[in-house]
Copies of this chain bind each other. A is one copy, B any other.
Amino acid sequence: MDKQEAINEGLKLIDQSKICLLGTNGEDGFPNIKAMMNIKHEGMKKIWLSTNTSSKRVQQLKKDNRASVYYVDESNFKGLMLTGTIQILQDLQSRQMLWDEGSEKYYPLGVEDPDYSVLYFTAHRGNYYHRLKNTTFEIE
C-alpha cells in the first residue's frame, strides 16, 4: 500500500469511528489509554477532543503533551495510529465548536463550565495497518 492510499484509508476509518483511543504518558512512566468520543477533525492533522479539566488525562498532558490517537475497525482488522502533541484549550470559541446536545451530561454548568476543556491534537506522523501491513507516513 502506498502512502497516499494509506492516508485515504485512514481518513475513511476516522470518519466511520464513533470513538478513538487517546494515549498519554502517565506520570509514573506507564503509557495510559482512554477511549474518547470522535467529535471533530480536519484531515489527519487536526483533531479536537473534549474532556473534563479535572481529569487525570489533563493533569498528565500539562506535564507531557506528547500523545497518540488511535482509531480501530475491529471487524476488518484496520488500525490508524497518529502521534503528535496536544494543547489544552478553554477559550469560548473552541468550547462552542465542540459543544453538542449530549455535552451537558459531562459538563453540567454548560459551555462555560470550568470543568470543560478542549484537547487540540496536532498529528506529526501516522501509521495505517491493514492486511498484515504497516504503512507509516509524515503528516504535513
Contacts and interface: CB of A to CB of B under 8 A. Distances in A.
Interface of A: 18-19, 21, 23-26, 28-35, 56, 66-68, 70, 72, 74, 77, 79, 81, 83-84, 105-106, 129, 132, 134
A122 to B, nearest CB: 12
A29 B25 contact: yes
B21 A74 contact: no
Contact of A32 (B23, B77, B84): B23
B68 A35 contact: no
A132 B102 CA distance: 13
Nearest to A105: B132
A6 to B, nearest CB: 16
Contacts of A34: 70, 79, 81, 129
A123 to B, nearest CB: 11
The CB with the most chain B CB atoms within 10 A, among A21, A23, A67, is that of A23
Closest 7 CB pairs of A and B: A23-B31, A33-B70, A31-B31, A30-B83, A23-B33, A35-B72, A19-B74
A39 B105 CA distance: 35
B67 A21 contact: no
Contacts of A56: 134
Contacts of A35: 70, 72, 74, 77, 79, 129
